[in-house]
Amino acid sequence: MAEGRIPAERQRRRPTKSGVVLSGDMIVDCALRLVAQHGPDALSVRRLGAALGCDPSAVYRYFHNTDDLLLAVADRVIGESMAGFRSSDDWVADLRDMARRIHRGYREHPRIAALAAYRVTRRVHEVRAVETGIGLLLGAGFDEATAVRYYAAFVDTALGHAALDAAHLALPPERRARDDGAWRDTYQSLPADAHPQLAAVREYLPLMGENSFETALGLLLDALVARAAG
């Protein structure tokens, strides 16, 4: 049996102790909520059982283990991010829209991003997103191997920035404020004789504390346009 696939007979909906009919989607909903509220340690069958009002072992009727559930949760985030996406006749605009959707989706679930942004879900929403992205690059005129390589760079840019943002958002507020303020409080005050390059750009150093996702995305898309034209 392929990993991540549960036989149909194990997917039958079953009532919990409170009479609510259990399902895989309900477990994923609960997992998203628990991780958002309590962090990664909340992703356990014991806590899921308590939150759902069912025997913890009931989770195993729908998912092999908590890692299997994590991948389902990550795929849900991808599905929510790509909901309503429609490709147009502008492949660059479509890739920009895709990247922003993926980045925004994981920023809305920062603790899931920290856990799973680097994972491969092997599920329906991820498959559909990969199909869409590679299709856009093939439509731009890239050959098959190049389209795959460039899509990997494209999606890693979106996911990598999402993971970085998630890690930053997960910091305690006082640490986050200290890090953000360092470019003003520390770097702008460095002596020019020891750090002439930093002194030359002193007034712009606070830009280092800003989110660089849009800048990186723009550079990547400009490079893709240039290579497509070439």
DSSP letters along 11-38, please? GS-EE-TTSPEE-HHHHHHHHHHHHHHH
- H or E, element range at 91: helix 91-107
Neighbouring CB atoms inside 10 A of 62's CB total: 22
Tell me phi and psi for residue 15, to 5 degrees: -75, 145
Give the chain's mean pLDDT.
91
Name the nearest CA neighbour of 28 among 19, 7, 11: 11
> In b/e form, how buried is each residue of 183-219, taking b as 16+ CB within 10 angstroms?
beeebbeeeeeeeeeeeeeeeebbeeeeeebeeebee
Q: What is the pLDDT of residues 61-112, one digit of tens each?
A: 999 999 999 999 999 999 999 999 999 999 999 999 999 999 999 999 988 9
Contact by Cβ (8 Å): 179, 164: no
* Residue 208, pLDDT score: 96
Provide the percentage of residues in the chain whose pLDDT is more than 90. 82
Q: What is the pLDDT of residue 116?
A: 92
List the structure tokens of 71: 């991948």
Sequence-distant contacts of 146-150: CB under 8 A, at least 24 apart: 150/224, 150/227
Give the tens place of pLDDT for each residue, 146-196. Answer: 999 999 999 999 999 999 998 898 889 999 999 999 999 999 999 999 999
Whether residue 22 has pLDDT greater than 60 = yes
Q: Summarize the confidence of residues 120-125 as an average pLDDT.
A: 96
Cα 60 to Cα 78: distance, rounded to the nearest angstrom: 23
Is the pLDDT reported for residue 143 higher than 60?
Answer: yes
Instruction: Work out the average pLDDT over 128-132.
Output: 98
186-204 tens-digit pLDDT = 999 999 999 999 999 999 9
- Whether the pLDDT of residue 9 is over 80: the answer is no
In the chain, what are the helix, strand and coil shares in percent, each to the nearest 5? 70, 0, 25
- Domains of the chain (ranges; CATH) run 8-64 (1.10.10.60), 86-229 (1.10.357.10)
Kindly report which listed range (33-42, 71-80, 123-132, 184-193) carries the lowest average pLDDT score: 33-42
Query: Residue 159 and residue 103: Cα distance in Å, rounded?
Result: 6
